[in-house]
A and B are shown apart, each in its own frame.
Chain A
Amino acid sequence: MSALLDVRNLVKDFPGAGGWFGRASSVRAVDDVSFSVEAGETFGLVGESGSGKTTTGRCLLRLIEPTSGDIRIKDMDVRALSSGDLRRARRHFQIIFQDPYSSLNPRMRVGTIVREPLDIHKIGTADERAARVQQLFDLVGLDPEATRKYPHEFSGGQRQRIGIARALALEPSLVVCDEPVSALDVSVQAQVVNLLLDLQQRLGLTYLFIAHDLRLVRQICNRVAVMYRGRLVEVATAEELFTSPAHPYTQALLSAMPRLQPGQKLERIPYDGANFKPMPLREVSKGHFAAV
């Protein structure tokens, strides 16, 4: 097996907020993060807000420029690409955003939104592009007749389908899904997740799935990485991570998950962030890495 995505020692510093006197020191949002994702895999990246998971996802696609580190997608050195090459390479890696309300241009017809990547990459003739848009609408379960409507005419779940159609227009191999269903109701969430799983099977997609819903991550991810304060603290198969978490933070996180069985409340395991020390990951059992 070869890795489709390989990330080594990724670091992202943001400049500190000004302050009245002089410059505050910079904030390290992503701190020495390394992992790789196999082709066809769904790799989960979980953590709380501010843990650096979204920044990591965006650095991989260079939507945010990383401070240092190596990113390889299909043997392509992403950080070495010139801006023109990066634009051309972007067809191989796409992103689906959390908020289906703010990520679609309200003044564009949805057909145009989905066609835009084809226009930008100059793929096919006008007729071929139109046919492709119809095909994409059909693929994500939207009425192909609806291409002339505007985003506000669709529900949240349908908008997310439009976002997915746009992301898939160029047949990418890697899709970063940044909290793709957390803004949706639970029943609609299930529809969109199932769609993502179907598309993965049909098109052989690889997902980096960024989420905070641990139940969802457990259900759909092959492997999961847990982030805390910009660092990976644990990486394991979903099954392993949820049944035998090794890092105290992961244990605390799992114990905080609300469960559906009333009265079977697990004892909460507290985690004192003051004790957190950045440590390298080490293999605690086969394929299970933890910063302990």
Chain B
Amino acid sequence: MPDAPLLDVTDLRTVFRLAGGRGPEAVAVDGISFHINRGETLGLVGESGSGKSVTAMSIIRLVSPPGRIAGGRVLFGGRDLLTLNEEHMRQVRGRRIGFVFQEPMVALNPVYTIGFQIEETLKVHTLAKGEAARKRAIELLEAVRVPDPARRAKAYPHQLSGGLRQRAMLALALAAEPSLLIADEPTTALDVTVQAEVLDLLRDLRKQFGLSMLLITHDLGVVAEMADRVAVMYCGRIVEEAQTATLLSQPAHPYTRGLIASVPHGTSGQRLASIPGTVPPLGKFGEGCTFTPRCPERFEPCPTVVPGTTTIEDGHTVRCHLHSAKTVSRGHS
């Protein structure tokens, strides 16, 4: 039997109370299940409002009212994070699970130097202190390829460029040597050449530190370059999951097909394929398959029946009536 996955999420449900906390509860993450193996990178893609970031926040239990985790299990290294007390959770968060966000300024404290913040992290997690921490902070900045790290350690976040700040945040996330890194749109705010550098860096660090990664992004190009497997989210559900190459070459869900087609493919002078409509707001996801109103291939069961998960081939699953129907007809013949 192969090793148990590092992260194993089952039936995770996160809800938000609408209308500033006084309205009814709406489901933002609707019973999703996925796993990440050791050393593996899972890409989580979808448009804004699909529930990707809420999923990440739920894993590290940083969902605050009016939101709450309503159910499920998040096994990390065999322990259910959802049942840990807050003190134990703090030892996981930032220590065993590191995270980087799209906007480094929210993760970095503007009034302390980069070096000091990394040293503090090392001290809090009792990994190093004093001169050893100072040395380690510079090593970490060097590992994330910050040029002239000893000098940059003394800089404040606002004195660094966007790319350098992103690297500083990575150094901070890696200080405690986590086994899982959650990266939420880590390169979205960066220029394309800087993005390429940060992606190269993430790839190297993954090898060097044996990191597993949950990579949240809306950019299928980034997924193609980085992820081993991809899960596509829509309205709080995972609608398709497969190996990256399979997902991009044989997408099964009309939503996945639409997302891939919407990416400009660089044939001059052509219109882009688009998905009509937009992601419905929280609380208005609707009945049945939530993609129905935007789906070019909808038929009778779609508006009313929630599609179950169909396995197309080993490791490639989809939630779509087109495929459940096929399985049924195949069963008849």
Contacts and interface: CB of A to CB of B under 8 A. Distances in A.
Contacts of B199: 258
A230 interface: no
Contacts of A257: 192, 221
Contact of B47 (A49, A187, A242, A260): A187
Interface in A242-264: 242, 252-253, 255-263
A190 B221 contact: no
Interface string B187-222: 000011111100110000000000000000011111
A265 B200 CA distance: 11
A219 B267 contact: yes
A185 interface: yes
Interface stretch (A23-31, A60-68, A70-78, A207-215): A207-215
B274 A197 contact: no
Contacts of A157: 278
B296 to A, nearest CB: 12
A271 B48 contact: no
A186 B263 contact: yes
B130 interface: no
Nearest to A187: B275
Contacts of B48: 185
A186 B47 contact: yes
A274 to B, nearest CB: 12
B265 A215 contact: yes
Nearest to A47: B191
A105 interface: no
Interface in A218-252: 218-222, 238-239, 242, 252
A268 interface: yes
A80 interface: no
A265 B271 contact: no
B273 A260 contact: no
Interface in B149-207: 162, 191-196, 199-200
B196 A268 contact: yes
A262 B248 contact: yes
B191 A258 contact: no
B260 interface: yes
Given A215-B263, A238-B268, A261-B248, A187 B258 contact: yes
A216 B271 CA distance: 10
B221 A260 contact: yes
Interface residues of B, number: 41
B82 interface: no
Interface in B43-76: 47-48
B279 A219 contact: no
Contacts of B262: 186-187, 189-190
A190 B220 CA distance: 14
B306 to A, nearest CB: 22
A262 B245 contact: yes
Given A238-B268, A262-B224, A188 B278 contact: yes
B274 A260 contact: no
Given A212-B192, A256-B192, A256-B196, A190 B265 contact: no
A262 B242 CA distance: 13
Contacts of A263: 245
A219 B263 CA distance: 10
Interface string B255-282: 0001110111111111111111011000
Given A48-B192, A48-B193, A219-B268, 9 more contacts: A185-B48, A194-B274, A212-B192, A222-B269, A256-B196, A260-B265, A261-B224, A262-B224, A265-B225
24 contacts: A49-B191, A155-B278, A158-B278, A187-B259, A187-B278, A190-B275, A191-B275, A191-B276, A193-B272, A212-B191, A215-B221, A219-B269, A221-B268, A222-B269, A255-B196, A256-B192, A256-B193, A257-B192, A258-B225, A260-B224, A260-B265, A262-B244, A262-B248, A268-B200
Closest 10 CB pairs of A and B: A258-B221, A190-B274, A256-B196, A190-B272, A187-B275, A48-B191, A215-B264, A185-B47, A219-B264, A190-B262
